[in-house]
Amino acid sequence: MNWDWDYAWDIVPDLWDGMLVALEATAYGYVLALVLGLALALLRRSRRRWVSLPVAAVSEFIRSTPLLVQLFFMYYMLPTIGITWGALTVGALTLGIHYATYTSEVYRSGIDNVPVGQWEAATALNLPTRRVWTSVILPQAVPRVIPALANYVIAMFKDTPQLIAISVVEVFAVAREENSQTFQTLEPFTMAGIFYLVIALAMSAVARLVERRFGKVRST
């Protein structure tokens, strides 16, 4: 098999369009995973077992089932209850929910590692619960887990090819379409792999910068 440079460069614009779709799904999904993951972590810590146990069970169920199955379920289930969203929206939503169950465990780990003395000091000062979390606990817990949270954005990005199952046209879908039209396999899939590699390395570099900038625990 001979490498065709002309063809490889010709498909770069189409691959880049697919990459933008993958990045969009990752961005929306990751924001959802961060917010929902924190909510799940706090609910898991509830002293009311009727709250914490169902949340734990649902989280475990989502973590224990494949993302691909969840994508199919969401894509075909939502219209049956009157929700007709586009494939990209459903894909980003599913990615966010799936990874929220992982980020919630990361948040829980960070919260559990906050020194007991900080909790005792907040109690001694009779701080309102909301202020305890926003001013004492979370500012110390979140910086501890930034590296783990950053790893999940890269993992989510690398899972975006699975969105092809619900007709989202991201990089892998573009490469497969090019292959089906030209019967040239080497160039489209190699270029797609290079796109994923470059973006993942860039994300890793940004993650290290964020870790150095925000990864230090603020003293209280």
Residue type, 82: G
Residues ≥6 apart with Cβ < 8 Å to 169:
18, 21, 177
Q: What are the structure tokens assigned to 136, written together?
A: 């004492």
Residues ≥6 apart with Cβ < 8 Å to 162:
67, 68, 71
What is the Cα–Cα distance from 154 to 159, expressed in whole angstroms? 9
Q: Could you tell me the CA-to-CA distances from 172 to 6, 161, 168 in Å, in that order? A: 20, 6, 10
Domain locations in the chain? 5-214
What is the Cα–Cα distance from 62 to 205, expressed in whole angstroms? 30
- 5-214: CATH topology is MetI-like fold (1.10.3720)
Q: What are the structure tokens assigned to 186, written together?
A: 């080497």
pLDDT in tens, 50-108: 989 999 999 999 999 999 999 999 999 989 988 889 999 999 999 999 999 999 999 99
What is the Cα–Cα distance from 93 to 100, expressed in whole angstroms? 10
pLDDT in tens, 7-39: 999 999 999 999 999 999 999 999 999 999 999
**Residue where the block lists tokens 């063809």:** 7
**pTM here?**
0.90
**Is 6:133 a contact under the CB 8 Å cutoff?**
no
Least confident of 41-55, 146-160, 205-219: 205-219
pLDDT of residue 201: 96
Backbone angles phi, psi at 56, to 5 degrees: -65, -40
pLDDT of residue 219: 52
